[in-house]
Structure 1
Amino acid sequence: MKKQFILFALLSVTLISCGSDNSEGNGMPGFGAFGGPGQRTTSVETSDIQIGNIAEQVRSYGNVKAQNVVSVLPQVSNRITNLYVDLGDTVRQGQTLAKIYDVTFRDQLAQARSQLEQSRIAVKRDSAEYVRQQTLMERDLTSESELEIAEAAYQSSLSQFEAARASLTQAQENFNNTEVKSPVNGVVVSRALEEGDLASTGTELFQIASTNGYESRIYLPVQDWRAVEIGQEVNLRVSNESDISARGVVSRKSPQLDATTGLGEVVITLTSTGNSIYPGVLVENVINITTKNEVMIVPRSALVEQVETVINPETNTIDLERTYSVFVSKGDSVAERRPLELGIEQGERIEVLSGLLPSDKIIVTGQSGLEDGSRISVATGERFRTPEERQISTEGDAPNGNNAMGGQNPLANMSEEERADAREKMQGMSQEERRAFLRELRQDQSVNSDSTSN
């Protein structure tokens, strides 16, 4: 029993000595706080809260295509003798795209004209006979049967004339169709045949994309599809570009989801386009669902996430509850944790609904190891830059311009161009080489100063 008492006394003395104020001097947390924040100071970087506009967005990729793509089909069948356009050519309505061998159709047209002329002569002849028979009938010089025969011949000639005229119209149409013409203004996006190939009716020869407008079709999951409405503004960006390439609006929306994929189709009509927009290009469509103005915005990188595991006894499942907070600098010396209520997320920008004041300074670098009440030291951005980003400084420079090793800083007496040139030369030097270089500069300046004074 006596040994246990002595052991307890020694342990108490050890705890008391460890809980003394020596922790402030050596940077180790003290046991005297019993779980409170340590005395170690953490260097952090702070930033003001941004006040601006933020939008809830739906993003999806789709290809730009012409609103109307017209298939050009030959109306007559024969060999192609000439092609006047190729892929990518811009054509106007009525422009000749190809020529089909027309000798047969020219002969048919000539034959139809000849038949029409013969029919016209026959009508003129039978018409005169019919009028003569009517005159004779009035004088009782012919019979009823003769008059009926003359009338029948006249009506037959009229029918043949109409048939010949229709044949001529068809022959003329076939001959005209030996020149394949564009039905719209647009761009040739497909060509199926070459010169010498046999063109037949019903076989596509060209595809022409109308230049009246472009559109982009995207397919969204049910949550995003439900949020999209007709008339919402859309920004489009080509996948390899950083700036907006085009603008548009949601013009059409499928009333149902695809049974196989579960996605809903949304059609975006482009209202303005840049030089990088053309049929087939892949673009990212950014649809603004909800926009809020003059709200508090923090970067996602400043958030500290806390995840708690919650067991649901009813369903016997484990749920994860996530909460977010940021650290605020108080007097540039203490970090204060602020739980947040978040709103709209737009990329790396997140709206804060509650938990912050516009005048707060949030910690954006070094917050991962902090606790509520931790001691901090607010540093400038220079301390958080990589060595490659920092400006090369003179080894041993003191704030007053004098070298810590003694003597005037030689760069202080140089012009900006000379100073930049000297720093560039020191880029690849070691510390010893840099000291020797500065010493040589100091000696040269001293010699020049002495010669000037003499």
Structure 2
Amino acid sequence: MNSVSGPHSPAPIKLKPIQSLKTSTPGSLRTLTGRAVVLLSLVAVTGCKFLPGGEKKAEDEKKEQAIPVEVATIQRGPIESTLKSSWYLEAEQEIRVLARTSNRLRELLVEEGSEVKKDQVLARLEDHEQRTSLAKAQNQLAKMKAEFERLESLYTQKLVSEQAFTDMKFELRQLELTVEDAARQLEYTEVKAPISGTITRRLIKLGDLVSNNQHLFDMVDFESIVAYVAVPDRNLVQLRIGQPARITTTALPGRQFEGFIKRISPIVEARTGTVKVTIGVMNNELLRPGMYVEVEIVLETKTDALLISKRALVYDSDQLFVYRLKPERRVERLLIVPALTDKLNIEPASGFAEGDQIVVAGHTGLKDGALVRLPDDPDPKDEEKKVGTGTAAQQAENKKTSTPAS
């Protein structure tokens, strides 16, 4: 048998002759069999390293695999910092219209949903009693004026005492007040709107006997709708009257309403550490009291800020990190300190420049200094297949050219 020699040939192994099985005991037979198995295993393991492709396979196992990721380029654009809060809408001018005199309702001029102006007549009561009372008071006043004029003439002639003249003057004034009161009671038979707004509820019917102070209507001025929100005291220095705000509600999906800061409370609530801020609504047509709304106050706006997509953020122990791509297709893990934040982007305080490429997908489990591959980069497995195919083709060509012609 010819021996195999070469730089990678295994060292020759000397085998001891195996004794005849006839003279072997069962114990010695098991010992010999075990030694043979171990010996064959060593030969197999040692020989694998020198088989064709064995070293290449070991190198492939040690080669670092590139992690596929997606990146986005840092660009400049607008961003704004906002403060969000939620609460119910309320109407600052929500009025209960009460009767100011008593009588039967004879005319009803409005219904629920009617829009009215201030001092517009909403209903009329029967006014016979009030007109009679006014007429009596006016008649007594006329009589008293005539007596007062006669007494005043006598007083100028020193024919009556000053006490009698003074008493008559006070009685005249008392009757004048009685006439004014009777005229007011007659005026109260017309129920008028105390504010401009909308009738939201009617509680009386035509022909009802109305008593003094009875609840007749509810009115709301929808232009006075506001939202009261609690703002943390640390943001107080960022607030000002007239500051813009945005209002949304689940009752009207897809709609956004413009608002503004109408008032800022001068005190901080000690128990919650918040400040009461009143948000007004501009050009309100659809919002109604009682709606639950989301209020977003615009604290600061920048038009030319560096923008990093929030898709790139990695959260670790209450800190924010991103992975930036380096030229050699490796990434570096960087701490990011936000300057401004909105729904989609974040502006870093420092440490980044326009044009930097930041990993936005595939960063789960990514480590600092890791080798990465972009979607447009060639797949290493495809490259290896191409190299292998090319080598095999070259070997076949070489073999074909080296074979002598028959």
Task: Flag whether TM exceeds 0.5 (same fold).
Answer: yes
Task: Please tell me whether the aligned partners of residues 324 and 332 of structure 2 are also in contact (alpha carbons under 8 angstroms).
Answer: yes
Q: Is this contact kept in 2: 1:230–1:253, CA < 8 A? A: no
CA distance in 1 between partners of 2:318 and 2:42 (Å): 43
Would the aligned equivalents of 2:103 and 2:126 in 1 still touch at CA under 8 Å? Answer: yes
Distance 1:294 1:198, change over 3 A: same
Q: What percent identity do the matched residue pairs reach?
A: 23
Gaps of 5+ in 2: 1-34, 378-406
Quote how far apart the aligned CAs of 1:172 are: 0.6
CA–CA distance in 2 between the matches of 1:75 and 1:20? Answer: 106
- Name the counterpart of 2:314: 304
Q: What amino acid maps onto 1:301 in structure 2?
A: R
The change in CA–CA distance for 1:114 and 1:20 in structure 2 (over 3 A counts) is: farther
Higher Cα radius of gyration:
2
- Tell me: CA distance 1:375–1:159, structure 2 relative to 1, closer, same or farther (3 Å): closer
1:378 paired residue among 368, 375, 378: 375
Work out which of the residue numbers 71, 83, 89 in structure 1 matches 2:114. 89
Q: CA deviation at 1:108?
A: 0.7
Tell me the equivalent position of 1:353. Answer: 349
In the superposition, relative to structure 1, how do residues 251 and 16 fare at CA in structure 2: closer, same or farther (>3 Å)? farther
Q: How many residues align?
A: 335
State which of 307, 329, 335 in structure 2 corresponds to 1:340: 335
Distance in 2 (alpha carbons) for counterparts of 1:117 and 1:84:
36
User: Post-superposition shift, 1:284?
Assistant: 1.8
Q: What is the Cα deviation at residue 351 of structure 1? A: 1.9
Contact 1:123 1:157 in 2 (8 A): yes
- Aligned residue among 52, 55, 65 for 1:38: 65
1:97 aligned partner, one-letter code: L
Q: What residue number does 1:429 align with? A: none
Instruction: Tell me which residue corresponds to 2:147.
Output: 122
TM-score by length of 2: 0.68
Q: 3-state DSSP class of the match of 1:367?
A: coil
Unpaired runs of at least 5, structure 1: 25-29, 138-146, 308-319, 381-454
User: Which one of 244, 247, 253 corresponds to residue 241 of structure 1?
Assistant: 253
SS across alignment from 2:337: strand
Instruction: Write the letter of the residue equivalent to 1:82.
Output: E
- Among residues 70, 87, 92, which one is paired with 1:62 in the alignment? 87
Change (3 A) 1:378 1:201: same
Distance 1:330 1:378, change over 3 A: farther
Alignment of 1:54-203 (within 5 A): 54-127=79-152, 134=157, 147-148=159-160, 156-203=167-214
Q: Partners of 1:266 and 1:12 in 2: how far apart?
A: 81
Contact 1:57–1:286 at 8 Å: present in 2 too?
A: yes
Q: Distance in 1 between matches of 2:361 and 2:300?
A: 30
Corresponding residue of 1:314: none
Retained in 2: the 8 A contact 1:46–1:329? no
CA separation of 1:162/1:323 partners in 2, compared to 1, >3 Å: closer, same or farther? closer
Q: Distance in 2 between matches of 1:16 and 1:241?
A: 72
**Counterpart selection for 1:290 from 300, 303, 318:** 300
Deviations 1:206-254 (A, max 9, x none): 3433466443211345555x46522333222333333531131353225
- 2:286 aligned residue: 276
Relative to structure 1, the CA distance from residue 120 to residue 324 in structure 2 (aligned partners, 3 Å threshold; closer, same or farther) is: same
How big is the shift at 1:187?
2.5
CA distance in 2, matches of 1:341, 1:238: 33
Q: CA RMSD in A?
A: 3.9
Bigger RCO (CA 8 Å, 6+ sep)? 2
The 8 Å contact of residues 227 and 289 in structure 1, kept in 2 or not, is answered as no
Alpha-carbon distance, 1:49 to partner: 1.9
Q: Structure 1's 21 and 189: CA in aligned 2 closer, same or farther, altered over 3 A?
A: farther
